[in-house]
Amino acid sequence: DGQLVESGGGLVQPGGSLRLSCAASGFTFRTYDMHWVRQTTGKGLEWVSAIDTAGDTYFPVSVKGRFTISRDNAKTSVSLQMNDLSAEDTALYYCARASFRRGPFDLWGHGTLVTVSS
């Protein structure tokens, strides 16, 4: 049914940048909208970005202007560029596939941990 594998997480200082990647396999990647969802202990699950099959992107207010999402259909991958990071961005970041417009998320990766700390 498919697999998603995230990478790129790590420790970054406040104000720094990080780029996450998600490698997809086992399904027709170009036909699915792709999302990033993060999870913190205190705030639960939070949707952070989406890119549809046309390349249009969507973000919540909390990350708009700081995060960008992109996809490479030839490499079946999606990336999340995160800039101006703060402690509030510390979370486990999941890549997720959407079944339809805006969800639901029927395939998830295992997540990659981002820690923002000095």
- Would you give the binding string for other proteins spanning residues 25-54, x where CB under 8 A is met? ----------x--------xxxx--x----
Residues 60-79 that bind other proteins (CB under 8 A): 60-61
Identity of the amino acid at 105? F
Structure-token pair, residue 46: 């939070």
Under rule CB under 8 A, residue 94 binds other proteins:
yes
Name the one residue in this structure whose structure tokens are 């259909």: 73
Structure-token pair, residue 25: 């396999």
Which of 81, 106, 105 lies closest to 21, judged by CA? 81
Query: C-beta of 101: minimal distance to other proteins in Å?
Result: 7
- Hey, how many other C-beta atoms are within 10 angstroms of the C-beta on 70? 14
Under rule CB under 8 A, residue 9 binds other proteins:
no
Q: Contact residues for other proteins (CB under 8 A)?
A: 1, 35, 44-47, 50, 58-61, 94, 99-106, 108-111
